[in-house]
Chain A
């Protein structure tokens, strides 16, 4: 049966017909967008006017996030910023340390058995003058249950004495740069870096596999998508063992699940040869709502963790260069083999040296295996300079820039990690646009909240959390932002022929908005209210999920 939806405005992102008032669908596929008269020729239809006062856009595409965002909501949120939970209650940000501690104490009071762990997430002490949490403050909340608070960056955790004790770290004589000691010679409870967090995190209630997601978490993630207007979302670093794939197929196969999920197989944890075999096997298990068969390579670490690989002049504070997370030969093998087999690869490169390694390796790989339209994508690519964007363009690479990171941590990059000049050019969406590099922008949820409209606002305004405008020359326009969060992101996933615009033959995936983002403009873009989404023709109201 044909359905025609009417709307206040339909922003199609199809330049041949940028605006429409009606869209016709059948079996989850768009028949066309236009005026009612233009669509009536398809035959008998039901006119659905429920969106008559709404604005429709193509369902938004989040090209770099993690399903883990859904799983984390089982834990106590103690971030600085207000954040919408999957169930729709706006959790107030903790504006100072006392607020963090009282929220934890309240959560603690809800727990029964005295040994039940209390995990919390998204702490960010840079917003309260870098005042550190110490073990004693958490011990005041409980000495019987392990407590752990993951920082927003994901690189640091604060724990109480019980958690240290369970991990065998509550003792003097520890000599590790990631474990600061107090005046008493015992750890303060701050744990920096994955090596030191990992043995403790399992005791405080964080899953063994930090990036994994359970069934409840997947459903919660789906709710967050509806609230953000997202209909296609990546799970950008998944191990994808058989049981996880079975779960993902089951959950996404439910008609009540509101998003298409694109999990990329993380390169770690196996040989490059096994990785390729695994991904080939996964590709065959794809469905219309679960897209398998892509690879994610992590090339370096993070800038604020000083583990990203930087070219000269290196870190602003003089920290030594970061770490490679993959050997260049393995990178070359995966890129070459994937080009030959038609497997798509996304590479996490934070530092500009990591970006250059991928550029150089791609150049050689393409000489061996010339390939058009590969769309291999640099994820984050935060520090690339203009010369690198020119090479990226020549090689047919795409970039997905971390516009939100710039907002939340731009001040820290300015003052500490890379200094003013490079902080201004970070996440250079303006340069990408000028050089004609296909680009998207992302949240990396749960590192920052899922929300392409907010991400677009960040890329257009480049305002940091303190209000500093960082990098005027890299601002993008409203049209570019709208493109980046729809077709731009879909392009990086080879899905732009299917989603990302409202036109005949594509999937009926829409973001349903209360406000017109074009009217909201550059300043108000982030405040565009989302009613919900439509996925394959089926409406999902944020108020009901």
Chain B
């Protein structure tokens, strides 16, 4: 449907948290998705010259229908440009500057109403750097406000951090990013988790992208009949273990089909094509606690 909102993921976090690395990883693994990536500047984004099809000052068109756009100091103009792209991208990824407040950016994006919808605010935190950033009187409140706006927090560089740094980081994320699930040690599968379309993933698979991160699993869930979609989505969003969900649900009692998009604690339910099949994919952390739906 041409009038479905353009899903947008905000990737935030202070300098060195790994935002650019993640963006690069997502671009390399687009898997046929038409991605539009908005970055503050092209400076740190090395794009393989072979991939570049066309380029002007602010926009680089890549093979496979992806584009990169630098927004400098006018994000709203860049978003207006994204909205006008034809054909429409499948997913917009917005990398914020290190000191930007993602909550304010999400509020600004909301002005685009039905055209662009914030799918999630993902805040990256560097396990090695976060404790010092929170001790820095110039930065602490900015970092706290960034974490406070997160739907999902990704702890990066855990392998470089000391046990103390790791513990301090986890503690502070729990304290300041209340209710947002924390993902660690899974960076090489994040592009899959954050993809706007995870529904091709087959059921009951373990993420197996590398040696040390089998902490996420995915499964499909098809309710036996119509459900209270709002309540079901809420229970998934409130569950610490659930990182991501996407799919279609038959609502009770009016039997309308809706699409669920959930990342961490944020979800949206939008009307879906009635011809689609109900069923959702859930990606969750392997924990001892019981999942809300099974």
A contact residues vs B (CB 8 Å cutoff):
168-169, 171, 173-179, 195-196, 198-199, 202, 208-209, 239, 241, 266, 268-274, 321, 323-330, 353, 357
Contacts and interface: CB of A to CB of B under 8 A. Distances in A.
A365 to B, nearest CB: 15
Given A174-B111, A177-B107, A202-B80, 14 more contacts: A168-B113, A173-B113, A176-B110, A195-B76, A268-B73, A271-B41, A271-B43, A274-B43, A321-B141, A324-B142, A327-B15, A327-B98, A329-B15, A330-B98
Contacts of A324: 99, 138, 142
Contacts of B80: 199, 202
Contacts of B98: 327, 329-330
Contact of B99 (A168, A202, A239, A325): A325
Contact of A174 (B15, B44, B113): B113
Task: Tell me if A's interface is mostly helix, strand, loop or mixed.
Answer: loop
12 contacts: A176-B111, A195-B111, A268-B72, A270-B41, A270-B43, A271-B41, A271-B44, A272-B43, A321-B141, A327-B97, A328-B139, A330-B15
B183 interface: no
B110 A175 contact: yes
B215 interface: no
A274 B41 contact: yes
A325 B15 CA distance: 13
Nearest to A210: B74
B108 interface: yes
Contacts of A171: 113
A241 B57 contact: yes
Nearest to B112: A168
Interface in B33-78: 41-44, 57, 70, 72-77
Interface of B: 14-15, 41-44, 57, 70, 72-77, 80, 97-99, 101, 104, 107-108, 110-113, 115, 136, 138-139, 141-142
Nearest to A174: B111
B10 to A, nearest CB: 14
A168 B115 contact: yes
Contact of A202 (B75, B77, B101): B77
A357 B138 contact: yes
Task: Tell me if B's interface is mostly helix, strand, loop or mixed.
Answer: loop
Contacts of A269: 41, 70, 72-73
Nearest to A266: B73
B110 to A, nearest CB: 6
A323 B43 contact: no
A196 B111 contact: yes
A195 B43 contact: no
B108 A176 contact: yes
A108 B207 CA distance: 63
Closest 3 CB pairs of A and B: A271-B43, A269-B72, A268-B73
A319 B135 CA distance: 23
Contacts of B74: 198, 208-209
A179 B111 contact: yes
A273 B139 contact: no
A86 to B, nearest CB: 27
A270 B72 contact: yes
B83 to A, nearest CB: 9
Contacts of A175: 107, 110
Nearest to A356: B138
Nearest to A353: B138
The listed residue with most A CB atoms (<10 A of its CB), out of B14, B75, B111, B113, is B111
A327 B99 contact: yes
B140 to A, nearest CB: 11
B262 to A, nearest CB: 20
A323 B73 contact: no
Nearest to B73: A268
Contacts of A330: 15, 98
B19 to A, nearest CB: 12
A323 B99 contact: yes
Nearest to A321: B141
A186 to B, nearest CB: 13
Contacts of A178: 107
Contacts of B75: 195
B255 to A, nearest CB: 26
A328 B44 CA distance: 17
A330 B14 CA distance: 12
Contacts of A268: 72-73
Nearest to A274: B43
A326 B41 contact: no
Contacts of B141: 321
A421 B74 CA distance: 36
Nearest to A329: B15
Given A168-B113, A329-B15, A198 B76 contact: yes
B223 to A, nearest CB: 29
A209 B113 CA distance: 24
B147 to A, nearest CB: 15
Nearest to A309: B138
B174 to A, nearest CB: 22
Nearest to A361: B138
A265 to B, nearest CB: 13
Contacts of A270: 41, 43, 70, 72
